[in-house]
Homo-oligomer: A and B are copies of this chain.
Amino acid sequence: MTDRPLQEPTLLLLTALADEPRHGYGLIQEIDAISQGRVRMRTGTLYGALDRLLQQGLIQVEREEIVDGRARKVYALAEAGRSVLAAEAERLRAVVDEAERRLAGHRAPATRPKGALA
């Protein structure tokens, strides 16, 4: 399946769905808020990613509704998406920790015995 690391827009999408279900346009706004206005997700990215994540089973359409005459699809994080997001967050945190440790000047021994590579 998709063992590949998530790119940031996708990571933000799953994060925006982690607390409650939202519809497409609401996700754009939520991502804008999460990133302190630094990320404006394009609709091209959004709906493409939504389709992809649906197909991968990481999210699901919770319901469809009509608000003020405008149709909405409300997406929810699926179980699979929840665990993928958790794993991804844990992995990324480790990398970020390591980056900041090294930038701070502490040389944490990441050294391993020779021949560790298969």
Tally of chain A residues near chain B (CB < 8 A)? 58
Residue-wise interface mask of A (24-57) relative to B, using a CB-CB cutoff of 8 A (1 in contact, 0 not): 0000111011111110000000000000000000
Residue-wise interface mask of A (76-100) relative to B, using a CB-CB cutoff of 8 A (1 in contact, 0 not): 1111001001101101111110111
- Tell which of B7, B19, B118 touches A64, judged by Cβ atoms closer than 8 Å: B118
Given contact pairs A38-B91, A91-B38, A32 touches B63 in the complex (Cβ within 8 A) = no
Contact, CB under 8 Å: A99 / B32: no
Given contact pairs A30-B110, A110-B33, A18 touches B99 in the complex (Cβ within 8 A) = yes
Contact, CB under 8 Å: A96 / B96: yes
Instruction: Judge if A69 is at the interface, Cβ distance under 8 Å.
Output: no
Chain A 2-34 residues near chain B, CB threshold 8 A: 5, 7-8, 11-12, 14-15, 18-21, 28-30, 32-34
A108 to B35, CA, bound (A): 14
A100 to B81, CA, bound (A): 13
Instruction: Judge if A1 is at the interface, Cβ distance under 8 Å.
Output: no
Contact, CB under 8 Å: B65 / A118: yes
